[in-house]
């Protein structure tokens, strides 16, 4: 017995020694990256602002302070986080086939999004990505454009009632339009959010985003017992119940519809093509119900995590992008005039909804959208965990470190974007893009884990924005410094977007 105790003690000492030496090595490597002074155990967590707007400003200030290096490090407790914002450094991560695992902080999304396409890793991610890619087939996107137009017309009528009124916040109007679109395209359900502005779902999404980001940057809330006891655990669970109840109800209804069909779709490529070519407009959830993996139908939980992911990433992100674009276009009379001229040349006096061919011709509007996403990317940062040591900027960053791509700072590199704070859509004309570093502009990420829905997003934004500017001249009632961007999971204006409208017809 005594001998066994000695052996266990010796083994424990060996493991502790190895851990300490490895930890010591990693700390030395990480601390070669410039960054603010950290305290033992809590690192820099005490320095990070709890306010989303202040935290976003803080990150940009760090980026400015350490701009020569193009990277900085902070410690969240004993966990190192390396922020990158130079194209050459970001390429090491984005162009890698190995560093594709999401960083540790994404685990806090698991109760909400499960391990769907956004948060999964390894084999599951590869299988889901391969399986879901056909759901964004060109024919399906063409059907989705019909939904975009239907909801855009409702938005147009809502905005028409506000022509000549006092300044109003257009952000909720565009957001509810995006929510109706995503509900119909993802779940095949029209919840009439534009008619019912008091949306419990929208409120839950916003509240959940704020709670999760605060938890991510507060190591003392990482343990569930502390988060539930002293943090926002109860509010988190309340929002989670609203979000899951909404999705699960629709899944249950869709399952019943699916089972009652006389002819069910079989598994395989031929059947999937039939689904794509079907006359009946199908939602993302319908297509998931048709899919199987190795003969096993996707479970309700499998479908829920993908639909919840699509709902979150496809609603909040596009809503924010469209609002920023409305503000930036309307803030420059010359640019708004060019948008009007392009729209008039494509649509003339017609009030017909936009077609795929029309959308292809809206090249200047697309430049405006891209430039808005440069200044205010919907996802201001995203993070990976290193699966092995990586050399970045001449320094060795150790395995298991979290690497954050700070999109907002990356997009302001003056080497590629002179006068980076100026809104200039001409930056995205073909002649100005062709020689630009491919990793200096990544609003939809890049590489293997780029956004699967980026074509969907661009089409939706073109339809909604073209509808707004075909019908209205927009005048902003804020300066950029008034907007106070809030860097939660999604970058949104803290003070809304206040405008007045005049009719063009």
CATH of the domain at 486: 1.10.630.10
183 or 408, higher pLDDT:
408
Tens of pLDDT, residue by residue over 198-226, are 778 878 887 898 899 889 888 889 999 99
Please state whether beta strands 485-487 and 292-293 pair in parallel, antiparallel, or not at all (unpaired).
unpaired
Strand-pair partners of 492: 486
The helix-helix angle for 171-187 and 300-330 (nearest 10°) equals 150
Which residue, among 92, 4, 69, 18, has the nearest Cα to 401 in the 3D structure?
A: 92
Structure confidence at residue 140 (pLDDT) = 82
> Residue 3: CB partners within 8 Å, gap ≥ 6?
none
Q: What is the pLDDT of residue 8?
A: 47
In a domain, 444, yes or no: yes
Report the pLDDT value the prediction gives residue 292, as an integer from 0 to 100. Answer: 56
pLDDT value of residue 392: 95
Question: Is 301 or 232 the better-scoring residue by pLDDT?
Answer: 232
Instruction: Let me know if residue 15 belongs to a domain.
Output: no
Structure-token match 């860097």, residue found: 487
Quote the CA–CA distance of 501 and 491 in Å, as a whole number: 25
Per-residue tokens: 101: 């695992």
Number of neighbours of residue 247 by Cβ within 10 angstroms: 20
Chain mean pLDDT for the chain: 87
Q: Does the residue 81 lie in any domain?
A: yes
**Angle 385-116-220 (CA atoms, 0-180°, nearest 5)?**
50
Q: Which of 8-12, 300-304, 441-445 has the lowest mean pLDDT?
A: 8-12
Res. 64: pLDDT tops 90: yes
- Cα-Cα-Cα-Cα dihedral of 267, 270, 273, 278, to 10°? -80
Query: Please, which residues have CB within 8 angstroms of residue 351's CB and are 6 or more apart in sequence?
Result: none
Task: Show the domain range for 131.
Answer: 51-503
The answer to whether position 33 is within a domain reads no
Residue 473 phi, psi dihedral angles, 5° rounding: -100, 130
Q: Which residue has the higher pLDDT, 163 or 278?
A: 163
Q: Roughly what angle, to the nearest 10 degrees, separates helices 233-260 and 171-187? A: 40
Report the candidate in 94, 95, 70 with the shortest Cα–Cα distance to residue 84: 70
The better pLDDT of the pair 254, 173 is held by 173
Helix%, strand%, coil% for the chain, nearest 5: 60, 10, 30
pLDDT in tens, 16-57: 444 444 578 888 999 999 999 999 888 898 888 877 788 899
Which of 15-19, 67-71, 94-98, 199-203 has maximum average pLDDT? 67-71
Pair 477, 498: CB distance under 8 Å:
yes
Residue 486 has pLDDT above 60, yes or no: yes
Q: Which residues, 6 or more positions from 44, have their beta carbon under 8 angstroms from its beta carbon?
A: 35, 36, 38, 74, 75, 76
Helices H / strands E in the chain, number of each = 19, 13
Q: Answer whether residue 3 shows pLDDT above 80.
A: no
pLDDT in tens, 99-123: 888 888 889 999 999 988 888 888 8
pTM for this structure? 0.88
d(CA 462, CA 322): 9
**What pLDDT does 261 receive?**
61
Q: What whole-number distance in Å separates Cα of residue 317 and Cα of residue 455?
A: 13
d(CA 283, CA 271): 16
pLDDT at residue number 120: 87
377 in the Ramachandran plot: left (φ > 0), alpha (ψ -120 to 50) or beta?
Answer: beta
pLDDT band for position 10 (cuts 50, 70, 90): low
CB 398 within 8 A of CB 346: no
Q: Is 318:178 a contact under the CB 8 Å cutoff?
A: yes
Mean pLDDT of the region 261-283: 52
Residues of the chain with pLDDT > 90: what percent?
55
Token pair 């998931």 in the structure block, residue: 288
- pLDDT higher than 70, residue 273: no
pLDDT score of 231: 92
Res 41: pLDDT: 82
How far apart are alpha carbons 410 and 82 in whole angstroms? 14
> 407: number of CA atoms within 13 Å, CB side?
23
pLDDT of 263 higher than 60: no
pLDDT surpasses 80 at 4: no
Q: What mean pLDDT is predicted for residues 145-161? A: 95
* pLDDT surpasses 70 at 255: yes
pLDDT at 295: 53
| pLDDT tens track for 283-292 | 888 888 777 5
Structure confidence at residue 269 as a pLDDT band (50, 70, 90): very low
Residue that is written with structure tokens 């100026």 in the block: 422
Q: Answer whether residue 46 is part of any domain.
A: no
pLDDT higher than 80, residue 228: yes
Residue 18 lies in a domain: no
- The stretch 142-169 carries a mean pLDDT of 94
Write a three-state SS string for 148-164. Answer: HHHHHHHHHHHHHCCCC
Q: What is the mean pLDDT of residues 78-105?
A: 92
Residue 431 lies in a domain: yes
Domain membership flag for residue 305: yes
* Segment among 169-183, 188-202, 417-431 with least mean pLDDT: 188-202
- Exposure string over 130-157, b if 16+ CB within 10 A, otherwise e: ebbeebbbeebbebbbebbbebbebbbe
Q: Is pLDDT larger for residue 331 or for residue 207?
A: 331
Distance CA 67, CA 72 (A): 9
CA gap 432, 374 in Å, rounded: 14
Residue scoring higher pLDDT (375 or 266): 375
Q: Is 212 helix (H, G, I), strand (E, B) or coil?
A: helix
Number of domains making up the chain: 1
């Amino acid at each position: 017995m005594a001998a066994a105790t000695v052996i266990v003690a010796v083994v424990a000492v060996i493991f502790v020694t190895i851990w300490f030496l490895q930890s010591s090595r990693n700390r030395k490597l990480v601390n070669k990256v410039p960054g603010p002074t950290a305290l033992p155990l809590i690192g820099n967590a005490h320095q990070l602002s709890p306010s989303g707007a202040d935290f976003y400003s803080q990150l940009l200030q760090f980026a400015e302070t350490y701009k020569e290096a193009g990277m900085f490090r902070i410690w969240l407790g004993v966990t190192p986080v390396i922020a990158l914002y130079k194209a050459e450094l970001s390429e090491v991560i984005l162009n890698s086939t190995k560093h594709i695992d999401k960083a540790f902080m994404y685990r806090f999304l698991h109760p909400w999004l499960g391990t769907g396409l956004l948060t999964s890793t390894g084999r599951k991610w590869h299988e889901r990505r391969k399986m879901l890619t056909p759901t964004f087939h060109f024919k399906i996107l063409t059907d989705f454009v019909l939904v975009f137009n239907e909801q855009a017309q409702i938005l147009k009528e809502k905005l028409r009632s506000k022509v000549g009124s006092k300044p109003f916040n257009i952000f909720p109007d565009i957001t509810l339009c995006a929510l109706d679109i995503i509900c119909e395209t993802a779940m095949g359900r029209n919840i009439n959010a534009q008619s019912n502005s008091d949306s419990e779902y929208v409120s839950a999404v916003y509240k959940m985003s704020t709670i999760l980001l605060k938890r991510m940057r507060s190591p003392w809330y990482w343990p569930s017992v502390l988060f539930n006891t002293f943090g926002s655990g109860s509010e988190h669970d309340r929002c989670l119940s609203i979000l899951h109840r909404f999705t699960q109800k629709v899944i249950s209804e869709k399952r019943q519809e699916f089972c009652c069909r006389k002819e069910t779709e079989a598994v395989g490529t031929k059947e999937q093509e039939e689904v794509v070519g079907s006359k009946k407009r199908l939602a993302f959830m319908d297509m998931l119900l048709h899919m199987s993996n190795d003969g096993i139908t996707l479970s309700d939980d499998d479908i829920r995590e993908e639909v919840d992911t699509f709902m979150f990433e496809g609603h909040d992100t596009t809503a924010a992008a469209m609002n920023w674009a409305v503000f930036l276009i309307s803030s420059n009379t010359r640019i708004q005039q060019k948008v009007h001229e392009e729209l008039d040349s494509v649509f003339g006096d017609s009030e017909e909804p936009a077609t795929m061919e029309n959308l292809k011709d809206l090249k200047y509007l697309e430049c405006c959208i891209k430039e808005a996403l440069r200044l205010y990317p919907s996802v201001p940062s995203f993070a990976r965990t290193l699966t092995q040591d990586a050399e970045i900027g001449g320094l060795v960053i150790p395995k298991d470190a979290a690497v954050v791509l700070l999109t907002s700072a990356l997009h302001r590199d003056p080497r590629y974007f002179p006068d980076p704070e100026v809104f200039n859509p001409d930056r995205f004309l073909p002649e100005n893009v062709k020689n630009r570093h491919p990793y200096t502009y990544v609003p939809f990420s890049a590489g293997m884990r780029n956004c699967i829905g980026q074509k969907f997003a661009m089409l939706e934004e073109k339809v909604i924005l073209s509808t707004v500017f075909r019908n209205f001249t927009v005048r902003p009632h804020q300066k950029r410094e008034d907007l106070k961007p809030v860097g939660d999971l999604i970058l949104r204006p803290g003070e809304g977007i206040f405008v007045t409208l005049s009719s063009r017809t």
